[in-house]
Chain A
Amino acid sequence: MNVFNTILILAAAFLAVFGEAVLGAPRNLLGAQIDLLPALMVYAALSSDMVTVSLLAVAGGLWFDSLSANPLGITIVPMMAAGFPICLRRDLILRGLPFAQLVLGAAASALVPALTLLFLLNSDRQPLIGWGTLWQLIVMAAGGAVATPFLFSLFGWCGQALGYKPRIETSFRPDREIQRGRKQHVSH
């Protein structure tokens, strides 16, 4: 388990939730706020372990719900529902391909709000839904799809810039250096 990567993912989730709460431009322009947590979950599921995925689901869900009118903890299970199957089957996914990242990002970004809405409708809450919700889901899915490959690039760059560089083994070894030239004969 790479602790640095986990901390980086959680910090990004914290900032993403704060950014969503502060920046109103996507909502004013597109009619929906784009949620970056599902895209982050896809990255965590493909690049980290189940502990990181679980931590992101719990912490990200709690942070999101604390700034929202959602009941506290309702986003945790949808987040985990998006991350768990990806993490479980990640050996079968071509995770390096931007297209795969895009598709997974879109699917997760549509699944998380849809599941959250389903849970809310099953509770005594009355979320604001209508035909416009479909448009909002499309915008969120598209936004998440675009954000996922971008997050992979960003985290790759962060890993290179802030993490330890891998030690490069060279084929040169001084004890196996071939000494050229005439050998010195030692006379006994």
Chain B
Amino acid sequence: MFNFSLKQLSDLLAAKKISSAEVTREFLGRINRLNPLYNAFITVNEEASLQQALVADTKIAQGLAQPLTGIPVAHKDIFCAKGWRTTCGSKILSNFIAPYDAHVVERFKERGMVILGKTNMDEFAMGSSSETSYYGPVKNPWDVRAVPGGSSGGSAAAVAARMAPAAIGTDTGGSIRQPAALCGISGIKPTYGVVSRYGMIAFASSLDQGGPMARSAEDLALVLNVMAGFDARDSTSLDRPPEDYTRDLTKTLAGLKIGLPREYFAEGLSDDVAQAVEAAVGQYRKLGASTVEISLPNTKLSIPVYYVLAPAEASSNLSRYDGVRYGYRAPQYNDLLDMYRKTRAQGFGAEVKRRILIGTYVLSHGYYDAYYLKAQKLRRLIAQDFAEAFKKCDVIMGPTSPTAAFNIGEKSGDPVQMYLSDIYTIAVNLAGLPGMSIPCGFSHKKLPVGLHIIGNYFSEARMLNIAHQYQLATDWHKRMPEGI
């Protein structure tokens, strides 16, 4: 059962051939057995999950089943879910029980979907390896010595190890796509504003976007159908008519024009990743697509721009963790200032502190123009690059990450090397575009490689179609790690 697609599970549930309780128990059992190996979950609450499964089964029995009713999904521990501990991978929220549901969680609940558990992640989504979590590093199911990518590494590992049929994550600079690539699964970050950020703990508000992670493009489309939608509580949520993201899955790719950015196949890209991506592009030509070389000349600016803007927003977003109202408070302190200092010194990890410091610095009086304002201007140039590119092609393809999964500890001492692993994904967030990653082969160390697909604004349905057609012709997405 654990290898069934969401469509299969959904059909079996609707036909009452299996129950949500059975499906949920199956995956909880797998979590029980496999999570000690991969540390993909921070919190599992079997009782709460099974309770939701029973509600779903009642719904189904009453003939009220909708698509995905009764399906259990793993949630990145960044989404507030009422009654669930929601830590964001941090010590500072280690005792925080969310008193409300994120918009996304509400929508899942309305569908009668089950929360399978809260997945591990880089602290406050700051990281590309899931090593910065207070709850210990996540391990890659393809090789436990390797990282799963990050920050949604727990969600990626959970899906790769079949501990969950699907998961949700968030992507600020690649945090859905890069771990999807490194764990051999599919993931999509929608256009900024498609999924409500309400209840999704903020890292960098102008970049954060939630999205699904699953084993296939078809599964992604089904989950995105539930996640996406206008929410008046998020002022950046886009008020657009609801879409069926599965509507174009079966369309042919004949005539599709794929743009290949020169800058994405240049220095820094490892040979094995390049080969897998080029083979995937070859497959697309077989499916009727043509390719055109394009240029995104400001690509090299995206990392410096991102590492000004994201920390600036984060330094302010994380100010609320002050020990006053909720969350961790240092046990001993002399006065208010001392309480703040000790609480935050003890409650935040090194990477979060680094980014708060960078962010505070770039917003400081006298530095604001040179850093923040300049970065905002460059951000527009980067978006302009894409606008130009989409005049020449329908979709952009390249590698999701320059290398396959690196080893735990390999880059954790060198932040710049770590930041470079998001070189291809970050610009997409800066432009607010949708991006996805699908498995397209393996490295020479037999670790998964991801194909990065970047679409124009609101072209998610087309991107899912492009991914789905590839997955009909190939079986990379069906490969499983050994020993699970």
Partners in one complex: no
Interface residues of B (CB under 8 A from A): none
Interface residues of A (CB under 8 A from B): none
